[in-house]
Chain A
Amino acid sequence: MKVSLIPNERGNVLLCAVCTIFILSLIAANVLLNCTARYNQASNQVRSWNEALYAAESGADMAYNEVRKIASNPTNAFSATNGWTTSGTTYTSGTTTFGTNSMHVSETVDLFYTDPTTGNAWYRIRSKGTSPLQGLKRTGMDDRLSNGNRFVANGSTRGDGDTLLRKIDFKYDHFTATYGPTGDGTNKAIVAVSPAPQLSRRIELIAAPVTPFEVAIKVTGDFYGLGSAAYIDSYRSSVGPYDPTVKTNPSDSRYADSQSGTVEIDNGTATIMGDIYGNLYTNGGTATKKTLNVHGTIDNNVPFTLDSFSIPTYLPAPQASPTRINSNTTITPPAAGTARAPTVYLLSSFDKQLTINQNGSSQTYVAIHLTSNFTGQIDVKPGVHVQFFIDGNVDIKARDIINETGYAGNLQFYSISPTDGSSQHVNIDSPGNFVATFYAPSADFTMNGNPDVTGAIVAKSFHGNGNTSWHYDRTLNFLGDVTDYRIASYIEDIR
C-alpha cells in the first residue's frame, strides 16, 4: 500500500486579515480614547469654571436683593429666617446649594461707606461660587504651554494656560492656603476641598444708593406738558447760579451741565411740549426728534418702577411742640442735627405759615411729619435743610413754598403712599415760583400757571399746561433719602 504524505500547504489569509484589522482597530480606538478623554477633561474644566461664576453671580443677586430691602422693606432685610447672620454692619449668608451639579455659593455684605451729606449707606457684596469638577483629577490640554512650573504652590509661578486661568482646586483650597479664607492674608491654612476637585470664583460688587432726584421729572403714569413755550434745562448749583443763556451756548464751560433737564416716563402715553434740554425716556412711546424739541437723546424703551414710599425708620423721636400749624409759627430747632438725625416735628395739621430758622450758624437739619393735608406755607431760612413728609394731599400755590436757601435740595417734599390704595395728589397753582423737590410716587401731580421752577419731581402722573421754565439742579443727583440700590462696581478676585 502506498501512503502519500503530502503536507497541507493551505494559507491563513483570513487570519492575517483579521489580525491586521484588529491591530488597526486598536490604534484607532487609542486615537479616539486619547482625544476624547483629554477633550472631555478640558471641556469639563471650562464648563465648571463658567458655572462657578454663574454661582457667584447668583449669590451676589441674592445678597443684592437683601440690600434693596434696606430701602423698601428694612425690617425684613438680612433676616435670620433667610439664613443670614448679623455682626454689627456685616451680614453673612449660609451656604446655598443648587443646580444639577450641586454648585454652592455663600455671600458676605458689609456697610463700608456712609455718605456724609445724606447719611445713605453703601454696601459691599462679596460672593463666592463653587462648582464641583466632573471627572478625574486631571489637568487639561496645557502641554503646548508647559514651562515646567506647573502646580508650584506660589502665586507668581503657579502653572500656565488653563491652570493659570482657572485655578482648579484638585485637592486643597489654594485660595485659603495662599491668601486666607477672606483673602486678606490672615488665617492661611491647608484645607482639603470637598467635593474634590472643584473650582471657585469670587466677585465683589458695590451697591450704591439710588437717590430720588436723578432727573428733572420722573413719572410712572400719564404725562402731559409742559406748555408749548416752556422749557426744561439744568445747571449745577455747586458751580454757580442758574444762567438762562448757557443752555444755547455750547462754548460756555457750563454748557454740559445745562443739558440734563431729563424727563423719564414709564408709559407709552405722553404728550410732550416745549423744549427739553436733556434726554427723553418713555416705555413704549413713539416720541421722535422730528416732532419734539428734545435736545438730548430719545429712548422709547426705558421701563422702570417706583416703589411706594413710607416714612424713614431712622428718624428720632419728635419734639414736643409744635404739633400743629394753625397760626403763623416760627421755630428754631434746639440742635443742628444731621441728615440722619434731624430735629423732628410731628404735626397733625398745617394750614398757616411755618418759618424755620437756622440753629446758630450751623447747617441745620429738620424733618417734619404731617399726618394730614398740607395747605399752608413754609419758609426755609438759609442754612436749613428740611425734609417734609406728608401723609395727605398738597394743595398750595407756588408762592407758598419759600426756600430762602436757593437750593432745591434744602426743601424736599415727600408724599407718603397711602396704605389703603386711595388716591393722592399734589396741586400747585399760580402765582409764584418755587425752589424745591417733590417725591410723590403715588400722587398725581398738577401744576398750573407759568412758574419758574428750580428742582425736580417724581410722581405717579404729571399734568402741567403752563409755559414753565424748569431748571434741574444737577447737585440733586447726590441728595435725598435712598429709594433703591444699584450696582456701581463689579470686580472679580482672580487670585
Chain B
Amino acid sequence: MKLTHHSHQSGFTLAEIMTAMAVAVVIFAAIITASLAMQKIFNAVDNYFATHIQQLRIIDYLNRDVKRALIVTTSVDQQTVTLTIPKYIIQSGDAEAVINPSMVGAMRSPTISTTTSGFQVNYGTTTSTVVYAINGASILRTEDGVVTTIASSTDQLVPSTTDADLTNTEYSTMAVTFQPIFTSGNVAAERTGTTVFSLAYLRNKRRG
C-alpha cells in the first residue's frame, strides 16, 4: 500500500491574509470606536449627574439661607444675591468674643427690643452678610468675607434668583441651569431642560 501524504501545508494566500486583516481592522476599529464612545458617554453622564447634584446643592444653600434671612436683595441680572442673616453663632471679633474668647462658636441668646413696627428679636447687635455670586465656572458663597466655593463645573452653571416683596411677606424664587457638555447644538432648550426651580419664603422677615 502506498501512503500518499499531502505535505503542502502552505499558509493563507495573500488574498486571504489581506481579507482577514481588513476584517480585523474593521472589527478593532469598531471596538475602539465603541470604547471611546462609551468613555465619552460615561464622562457625559457622570458629569451631568455631578452637575445636577451641584444644582441641588446651590438650591439647598440658597433655600437654607433665604429661610433664615432678614433681608434678601438680588442684582438686576439676578445672578448675585445678598442676604442679611442674624448672627446666631458668636464669631471671632464679636463683642462677646473679645470679652471672653472661649465664647467663639457658642450660640447667642436672643434679646427683645421694641421698635415702631413692634417687637423685634435680635441675635446680637450686628448681622451677617451672605453673598452668592458667579466667579468663572464656580458659584461662590461669601459670609462676612469668608469665601466658600459651593459649586464648580465646566457646564456653565447659572443660578438665577428673583425676590418678591409683598405687603406682609417676601419670597425668593431660584432657578439653576447648566449646559450639558455632550450637547452640540448649543440651543436654548439644552439649557432650559436642565432647570431646577425652588421657592423659599423669608421666615425671618421683619414685618412693618
Contacts and interface: CB of A to CB of B under 8 A. Distances in A.
A492 interface: yes
Contacts of A257: 116
A492 B60 contact: no
Contacts of A145: 149, 151-152
Contacts of B150: 161, 164-165
A35 B42 contact: yes
Nearest to A487: B203
A489 B31 contact: no
B53 A140 contact: yes
A49 interface: yes
Contact of B38 (A3, A24, A155, A492): A24
A162 interface: yes
Contacts of B9: 7
B118 A477 contact: yes
Given A39-B53, A141-B49, A490 B203 contact: yes
A184 B90 CA distance: 11
A233 interface: no
Contacts of B6: 4-6
Given A34-B46, A492-B68, A24 B31 contact: yes
Contacts of A492: 64, 67-68
Interface string B51-64: 01110110011001
B187 interface: no
B45 to A, nearest CB: 5
Interface in A99-127: 112-113, 115, 122, 124
A494 B46 contact: no
A20 B150 CA distance: 43
27 contacts: A34-B42, A34-B46, A35-B46, A38-B46, A38-B49, A46-B53, A46-B57, A113-B111, A113-B112, A124-B110, A155-B105, A165-B150, A184-B106, A185-B102, A185-B105, A204-B107, A236-B116, A257-B116, A297-B167, A478-B114, A488-B121, A489-B204, A490-B67, A491-B88, A491-B204, A492-B64, A493-B89
List the 6 closest A-B pairs by CB distance, nearest first.
Answer: A490-B203, A489-B121, A31-B42, A39-B49, A141-B50, A42-B53
Interface of A: 1-7, 16, 20, 23-24, 27-28, 30-31, 34-35, 38-39, 42-43, 46, 49-50, 112-113, 115, 122, 124, 140-141, 143-145, 155, 160-162, 164-166, 179, 183-185, 204, 206, 208, 236, 256-257, 297, 299, 474, 477-478, 487-495
Interface in B1-41: 1, 3-6, 9, 27, 30-31, 34-35, 38, 41
Nearest to A7: B9
Contact of A185 (B60, B106, B110, B151): B106
Task: Give the dominant DSSP class at B's interface.
Answer: mixed
Contacts of B171: none
A2 B149 contact: no
Contacts of B107: 183-184, 204, 493
B195 interface: no
A282 to B, nearest CB: 15
Interface in B145-200: 148-153, 167
Interface of B: 1, 3-6, 9, 27, 30-31, 34-35, 38, 41-42, 45-46, 49-50, 52-54, 56-57, 60-61, 64, 67-68, 86, 88-89, 102, 105-107, 109-112, 114, 116, 118-119, 121, 123, 148-153, 167, 203-204
A162 B116 contact: no
B38 A27 contact: yes
A21 B177 CA distance: 37
Contacts of A155: 105
Given A28-B38, A164-B150, A489-B204, 20 more contacts: A16-B27, A20-B27, A24-B38, A27-B34, A27-B38, A38-B50, A113-B111, A124-B110, A140-B53, A141-B50, A145-B152, A164-B148, A165-B64, A183-B107, A204-B88, A256-B116, A489-B121, A492-B67, A493-B89, A495-B105
A98 to B, nearest CB: 22
Contacts of A478: 114, 118-119
Given A31-B38, A491-B123, A122 B116 contact: no
Contacts of A16: 27
A481 to B, nearest CB: 16
Nearest to B202: A490
A44 B107 CA distance: 30
A299 B60 CA distance: 33
Contacts of B45: 31, 35
B183 to A, nearest CB: 17
A7 B41 CA distance: 45
A145 B147 CA distance: 14
Contacts of A144: 50, 54, 152-153
A185 B123 CA distance: 18
A88 to B, nearest CB: 16
Nearest to A36: B49
Which of A3, A28, A141, A474 has the most chain B CB atoms inside 10 A of its CB?
A141
Contacts of B116: 236, 256-257, 474
B110 to A, nearest CB: 6
B49 A42 contact: yes
Given A6-B6, A31-B42, A493-B107, A24 B67 contact: no
A208 B49 contact: no
A30 B45 CA distance: 12
A124 B35 CA distance: 61
Contacts of A179: 105
Contacts of B88: 204, 491, 493
A369 B21 CA distance: 110
